[in-house]
Amino acid sequence: MLFDARHLRWVDPNGMVALLLGGSIAGEASGTFPHIELPDNQDVLGYLSRMGFHDQAHKVFEFDSLPRRGASRPSDVLLEITAIDTNHDVHEIVDRVQGRAGAILTSKLGYPAASVIPFSVMLSEVCQNIIEHAEGPGWVAAQAYNWAKRLGRFVIVISVMDRGRGFKGSLGGEHSARYGDRWSDSTALEAAFLHGLTRFADPGRGQGLQQIRKQVRKWSGLISLRSGTARISQVPEWDDSPPMIDGMAQLPGAQIGIILPALVQP
């Protein structure tokens, strides 16, 4: 199988992580690494390099040759693409990102210095979701952008994706019976996202997503959770995405996407 990215002109953390997921799924199905052709565009190639895509792609794809280094440009990379397999990976990610997060949150988004703590907790929780639900490999990446045309201010984009069982598969054993014929990807997302249900019977488990939603709402951000054929979102005033979409293309595992915008100055 060939992944042809030669004509790619732009990519974000969601696209890069999804590309790794696609390559991982293709490799598992065929038993061999799929081949990838890297972008001809030097800016895109340089961005992939700064985001650590090449390091992760070597574990998923086959290359004709070592990736060429693209043009060097100033970077607002908050977190390079990082694999998540264990709780130790999550702790390392949070430790590594705290310094950069503080600088970017204050200088680019205008958040108070104390915001780095709830941001780190939120990042830890979305990564922990892979360990909690997926029981499969996953990746996380985060980047700051100037959304000059779309929003007129800086944003931080966080993308977490895994190749696990998805929310329907993860929650099914504990909760599918109460939903009966209504049990589906969309109802599983509602159960986790809106009601805090988890695959564990322990009281108090499953509050991570609820705390993330609360923090994202406080910062007027957007959070979406996609799994299987459905996507559920908590949508702020500045976006017009529907809160629920069903009938999408099948996505193995799950994707959590968060967009945090800069504060609007009075």
Beta carbons within 8 Å of 158's beta carbon, 6+ residues apart: 13, 79, 123, 126, 140, 141, 142, 256, 257, 258, 259, 260
What pLDDT does 226 receive?
95
| pTM (two decimals) | 0.91
Residue 66: its pLDDT value, please? 62
Per-residue pLDDT, 198: 76
Max Cα-Cα span within the chain: 57
Asked if residue 175 lies in contact with residue 200, where contact means CB atoms within 8 angstroms, the answer is no
Helix 185-193 and helix 208-218: axis angle, to 10°? 70
Q: Which residues of the chain are modeled with pLDDT < 70?
A: 66-75, 133-136, 199-207, 266
**Three-state SS letters, the chain:** CEEECCCCCCCCHHHHHHHHHHHHHHHHHHCCCCEEECCCCHHHHHHHHHCCHHHHHCCCCECCCCCCCCCCCCCCEEEEEEEECCHHHHHHHHHHHHHHHHHHHHHCCCCCHHHHHHHHHHHHHHHHHHHHHHCCCEEEEEEEEEECCCCCEEEEEEEEEECCCHHHHHHHHHHHHHHHHHCCHHHHHHHHHCCCCCCCCCCCCCCHHHHHHHHHHHCCCEEEEEEECEEEEECCCCCCCCCEECCCCCEEEEEEEEEEECCCCC
CA–CA separation, 197 vs 210, rounded Å? Answer: 10
User: Could you tell me which residues come within 8 angstroms of residue 110 by beta carbon, excluding any fewer than 6 positions away?
Assistant: 262, 263, 265
Going by their DSSP bridges, the two strands 35-37 and 77-84 should be labelled as unpaired
